[in-house]
């Protein structure tokens, strides 16, 4: 009993001295509860026969029925497949680019030239998805776009790119590289800046060329950063830039373009099958969570510092 | 490392080839912008014929005249300013105190609160529950809904919190001696010392708000409230099918493509204006300090 009162007085004393911290914290916590945790409670509709009139709590439970429906649906399976394929392709083609760029920037001697070039290649990162889609749609337009104009000059037939399923992925991944490769190189540039300069100095004494130094010193030195970034990328494998897909795809290209999030958007927000779409979203979120956690554990073991 | 004496003579060719390659990459990054700018300044006829490749053909400001005379363009431009300024101010008001509290060693349950914030980076409920939540909160089709719903994110809070944590306690001791409380310590010690981190977060918020489109498209039906990006999407996806608009095109000095290009340019200009400020903070390592460690 004495212990209990003791504890109470300690808490009261603590609050008297530090109440302001809790006042400062409260808006953030309330915001997280209302806008991020409350939807998590709403996720239960993935297991319910949800109707707008009965509300989240009033709708009856139906167990895993939506998940059965999803995995029996060709559309969902296709979306899942496309997500993984687009993600993998982005990884294979998109991941090496910023590393190569960072290595190249590092070899530029003229600082003004380097700064100018960097300013240019970082820029697309700050441009909105809608603008990217606007540029892509105009540039690839069948009648008037510059891509077809050039194809025409070279003697090829014009292609209606955005209606061709086989062209969707190259265009999507290409515009992704255009937008992000420059900006993503910052991480690797920072790693290169951290390499011990005496390594280069002794290599010069030994008569090594820049090319050799790049392969023997720079790349091995930034390997930990490369591996950590790779692990993060794999952790986010399901995160495909679906906003750009929504803006670029059309029924003619669904077979190669439709990913899980665009499927959710159509089924949920356009068709209004909230419960089924929420189930697809829950599946996505759980897989993503497992991937991220695994990635974090691996990187913790690898680098002895967690990513967070 | 970019030190001349680290280069031998035989490296000269390598250095030059590298400079050329880097330059080519930069040019190919720049090209789409040049193309769009040229297109926006070309005549509708030239654009239709596909003759615009690098520079404006039959230069005209007709497309800009068309865009700037659309009331909806100005409405959505104004709305974008409202969302950007309102949203950024709201973010800072909530995030700065929150990050400060989370950085305090004496905060009770500090690990729990931090985990609660960080958890949202790894797991989120997804589009549908978020949308239904907004509907249940009666925040559809509302300025306030857009401003409040995207106020915080774990990344920005952790970035600021880490920065606050890196400030040595000795800085606040003098203030504490003078009897300053937490409100005062935050305002007079931490905020002035954290200007670079706060500037970074502010710029992230501004850029995210300016570019934000998906949720604005989903949550807003009322055309009086849509931001520029949503209007731009209407133009891109719907203008080409709009017969009424097509009718105005006959004999017009602009085309769907040049009008689209002109809106794209108008929407990029503000980004270009703040870009030098954003860039100032890239290489300071603040970016990396955010999530790592």
Contacts with A64 (C-beta within 8 Å, 6 or more apart), sequence order: A47
Q: What average pLDDT does range B124-147 have in this prediction?
A: 95
Give the position of tokens 């912008």.
B33
With contacts defined as CB-CB under 8 Å, which chain A residues touch B259?
Answer: none
Which region holds residue A158: left if phi is over 0, alpha if psi is between -120 and 50, else beta? Answer: beta
Which tokens hold the place of B219?
């949550």
- Rounded Cα–Cα distance for residues B175 and B256 (Å): 62
Q: Where are the domains of chain B?
A: 71-222+283-291
Q: What is the Rg, in whole angstroms, of the alpha carbon atoms belonging to chain A?
A: 26
Put simply, the answer to whether B97 touches A28 (Cβ < 8 Å) is yes
List Cβ neighbours of B83 (8 Å cut-off, separation of 6 or more).
Answer: B143, B146, B147, B209, B212, B216, B227
Q: Do B15 and A150 touch (CB under 8 A)?
A: no
Torsion of CA A87, A88, A92, A98, to 10 degrees: 20
Residue A281 has pLDDT above 70, yes or no: yes
Estimate to the nearest angstrom the gap between the alpha carbon of A135 and the chain centroid: 21
Contact A251, A162 (CB under 8 A): no
Residue B292 CA to chain centroid, in angstroms? 22
B5 vs B109 pLDDT, higher one: B109
CA B23 to chain centre: 26
* Alpha helix (H) residue ranges in A236-273: 242-248, 254-257, 260-264
Q: Which of A104, A135, A305 sits opposite B18 (nearest CB)?
A: A104
Residues 208..267 of A with a Cβ closer than 8 Å to B: which? 209-211, 243, 246-247, 261, 264-265
Which positions ≥6 away from A294 have C-beta within 8 Å? A235
- pLDDT reported for residue B5: 56
A27's CB contacts (< 8 A; 6+ apart) are B93, B94, B97, B98
**Cα-based distances in Å from A164 to A159, A248, A252, A255, B290:** 8, 12, 7, 10, 41
Q: Which of A59, A126, A157 to mutate to test the interface with B (most CBs of B within 10 A)?
A: A126
The pLDDT tens digits of the residues spanning B283-292 come to: 554 554 443 3
Rounded to an integer, the average pLDDT of B40-54 is: 88
Length of chain A equals 308
What is the per-residue pLDDT for B27? 95
Q: What per-residue confidence (pLDDT) applies to B44?
A: 87
pLDDT digits (tens, 9 = 90+) for B158-204: 989 999 998 998 888 888 898 889 999 999 999 999 988 898 899 88
Compute the average pLDDT of residues A9-33.
93
pLDDT for position A215: 92
Q: Rounded to an integer, what distance in angstroms lies between the CA atom of residue A23 and that of residue B77?
A: 36
* Rounded CA separation B249/A144 (Å): 15
| Helix A129-139 / helix B228-238 crossing angle, nearest 10 deg | 20
Higher pLDDT, A11 or B151: B151
Question: What pLDDT, on the 0 to 100 scale, is given for residue B291?
Answer: 39
CB A167 within 8 A of CB A256: no
Q: Looking at the complex, does the CB of residue A31 fall below 8 Å from at least one CB of chain B?
A: yes
Give the orientation angle of helix B154-165 with respect to helix B110-122, to 10 degrees: 140
Task: Select from B146, B237, B266 the least CA-distant residue to A246.
Answer: B237
CA distance A78 to A254: 9
Q: Tell me the β-bridge partners of A48.
A: A61
pLDDT at residue A2, rounded to an integer: 63
For residue range A229-253, list pLDDT tens digits in order: 888 888 788 888 899 999 999 999 9
Stretch A16-25: mean pLDDT: 93
CB neighbours of residue B90 within 10 Å: 19
- Specify the pLDDT at position A81: 95
DSSP summary character for residue A94: I
User: Of B130, B49, B132, B241, which is closest to residue A37 (Cα–Cα)?
Assistant: B130
Contact B157, A31 (CB under 8 A): no
Question: Domain B71-222+283-291: what homologous superfamily?
Answer: MetI-like (1.10.3720.10)
Interface probe for B, chosen from A144, A175, A237, A282 (most Cβ of B below 10 Å), is A144
Nearest one of A137, A172, A164 to A255, comparing CA atoms: A164
**Residues of B in Cβ contact (< 8 Å) with A14:** 106, 108
Neighboring chain B residues of A120 at a CB cutoff of 8 Å:
26, 29-30
Cα separation, B152 vs B118, in Å, equals 12
The confidence score (pLDDT) of residue A308 equals: 43
Average pLDDT over residues B57-63: 91
Give yes or no for residue B47 having a pLDDT over 70: yes
For the CA atoms of A67, A69, A70, A72, the dihedral, rounded to the nearest 10 degrees, stands at: 120
Tens of pLDDT, residue by residue over A107-116, are: 998 889 998 9
Q: Which pLDDT score is estimated for B292?
A: 39
The hierarchical CATH code for the domain A73-303 is 1.10.3720.10
Whether pLDDT at A305 is above 60: no
- Mutate which of A15, A25, A259 to disrupt the B interface (most B C-beta within 10 Å)? A25
| Of B44, B48, B43, nearest in space to B59 by CA | B43
Min mean pLDDT across B95-104, B149-158, B166-175 is at B166-175
What ipTM does this complex have?
0.89
The C-alpha of A1 sits at a distance from chain B's nearest C-alpha, in angstroms, of 23
**Could you tell me the residue ranges of all domains in chain A?**
2-58, 73-303
Q: Is residue B128's pLDDT more than 70? A: yes
Residues from chain A that touch B33, judged by Cβ atoms under 8 A, are 123
Q: Which residue is closest to B209 within chain A, CA to CA?
A: A128
pLDDT at A79 over 60: yes
Q: Does B279 contact A122 at a Cβ distance shorter than 8 Å?
A: yes
Is A77 within 8 Å of chain B by CB? Answer: no
The nearest CA of chain B is from the CA of A220 a distance in Å of: 16
- Alpha-carbon torsion A38, A43, A49, A50, what sign? positive
Q: What is the dihedral of CA B99, A229, A187, B4, to 10 degrees?
A: 150
State mean pLDDT over A22-31. 97
From the list B6, B41, B204, B97, the residue with the least C-alpha distance to A30 is: B97
Using one digit for the tens of pLDDT, what is the confidence trace for B235-280?
888 776 666 776 666 677 888 889 999 999 999 998 888 888 777 7
Q: What pLDDT does B8 receive?
A: 63
- Distance between CA atoms of residues A129 and A133, nearest Å: 6
Of all residues in chain A, the percent with pLDDT exceeding 70 is 97
* Other beta carbons within 10 Å of A166: 10
Average pLDDT over residues B92-97: 97
Residue with tokens 């392709």: A89
Chain B residues close to A186, C-beta within 8 Å:
282-283, 287-288
From A26, which residue of chain B is nearest by alpha-carbon distance? B98
pLDDT mean across residues, chain B: 88
Whether the CB-CB separation of A68 and A47 falls below 8 Å is answered with: no
Question: Number of Cβ pairs closer than 8 Å across A and B?
Answer: 293
Of B25, B183, B218, the CB nearest to A20: B183
Alpha-carbon distance of B281 to A193, in angstroms, equals 16
pLDDT at position A263 over 60: yes
Contacts B186 to A, Cβ<8 Å? 24
Instruction: Provide the token pair at B19.
Output: 């400079």
């Amino acid at each position: 009993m004495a212990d209990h009162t003791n504890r109470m007085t300690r808490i009261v004393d603590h609050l008297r001295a530090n109440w302001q911290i809790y006042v400062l914290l409260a808006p953030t916590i309330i915001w997280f509860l209302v806008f991020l945790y409350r939807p998590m409670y709403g996720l239960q509709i993935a297991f319910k026969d949800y109707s707008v009139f009965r509300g989240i709590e009033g709708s009856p439970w139906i167990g895993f029925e939506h998940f059965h429906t999803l995995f029996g649906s060709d559309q969902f399976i296709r979306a899942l497949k496309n997500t993984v394929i687009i993600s993998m392709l982005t990884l294979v083609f998109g991941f090496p680019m910023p590393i190569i760029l960072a290595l190249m920037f590092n070899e530029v001697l003229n600082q003004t030239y380097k700064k100018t070039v960097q300013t240019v290649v970082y820029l697309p990162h700050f441009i909105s998805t809608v603008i990217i889609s606007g540029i892509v749609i105009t540039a690839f337009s069948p009648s008037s776009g510059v891509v077809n104009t050039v194809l025409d000059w070279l003697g090829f037939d014009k292609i209606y790119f955005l209606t061709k399923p086989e062209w969707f992925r190259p265009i999507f991944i290409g515009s992704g590289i255009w937008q992000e490769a420059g900006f993503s190189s910052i991480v690797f540039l920072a790693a290169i800046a951290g390499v011990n300069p005496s390594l280069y100095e002794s290599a010069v004494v030994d008569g090594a060329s820049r090319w050799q130094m790049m392969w023997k010193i720079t790349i091995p030195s930034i390997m930990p950063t490369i591996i950590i970034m790779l692990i993060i990328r794999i952790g986010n494998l399901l995160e495909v830039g679906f906003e750009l897909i929504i803006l670029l795809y059309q029924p003619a290209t669904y077979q190669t373009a439709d990913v899980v999030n665009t499927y959710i958007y159509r089924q949920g927000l356009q068709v209004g099958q909230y419960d089924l779409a929420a189930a697809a979203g829950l599946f996505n979120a759980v897989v993503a969570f497992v991937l991220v956690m695994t990635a974090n554990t691996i990187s913790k073991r690898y680098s002895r510092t967690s990513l967070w | 490392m970019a030190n001349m004496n680290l280069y031998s003579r035989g490296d000269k060719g390598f250095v030059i080839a590298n400079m050329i390659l880097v330059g080519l990459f930069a040019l190919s990054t720049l090209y789409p912008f040049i193309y769009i700018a040229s297109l926006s300044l070309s005549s509708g006829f030239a654009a239709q014929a596909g003759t615009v490749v690098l520079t404006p053909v039959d230069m005209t400001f007709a497309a800009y005249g068309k865009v700037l005379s659309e009331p909806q363009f100005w409405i959505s431009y104004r709305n974008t300013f409202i969302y950007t300024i309102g949203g950024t101010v709201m973010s800072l008001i909530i995030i700065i105190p929150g990050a400060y509290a989370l950085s305090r060693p004496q905060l009770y349950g500090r690990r729990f609160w931090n985990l609660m914030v960080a958890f949202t980076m790894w797991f989120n409920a997804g589009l549908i529950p978020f949308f239904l939540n907004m509907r249940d909160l009666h925040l559809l089709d509302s300025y306030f809904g857009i401003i409040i719903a995207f106020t915080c994110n774990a990344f920005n809070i952790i970035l600021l919190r880490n920065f606050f944590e890196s400030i040595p306690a000795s800085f606040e001791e003098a203030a504490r001696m003078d009897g300053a409380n937490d409100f005062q310590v935050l305002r007079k010690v931490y905020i002035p010392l954290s200007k670079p981190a706060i500037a970074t977060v502010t710029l992230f918020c501004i850029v995210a708000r300016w570019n934000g489109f998906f949720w604005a498209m989903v949550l807003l039906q009322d055309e009086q409230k849509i931001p520029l990006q949503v209007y731009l999407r209407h133009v891109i996806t719907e203008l080409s099918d709009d017969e009424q608009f097509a009718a105005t095109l006959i004999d017009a000095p602009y085309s769907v493509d040049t009008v689209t290009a002109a809106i794209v340019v108008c929407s990029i200009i503000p980004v270009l204006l703040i870009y030098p400020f954003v860039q100032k903070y890239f290489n300071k390592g603040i970016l990396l300090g955010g999530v790592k460690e």
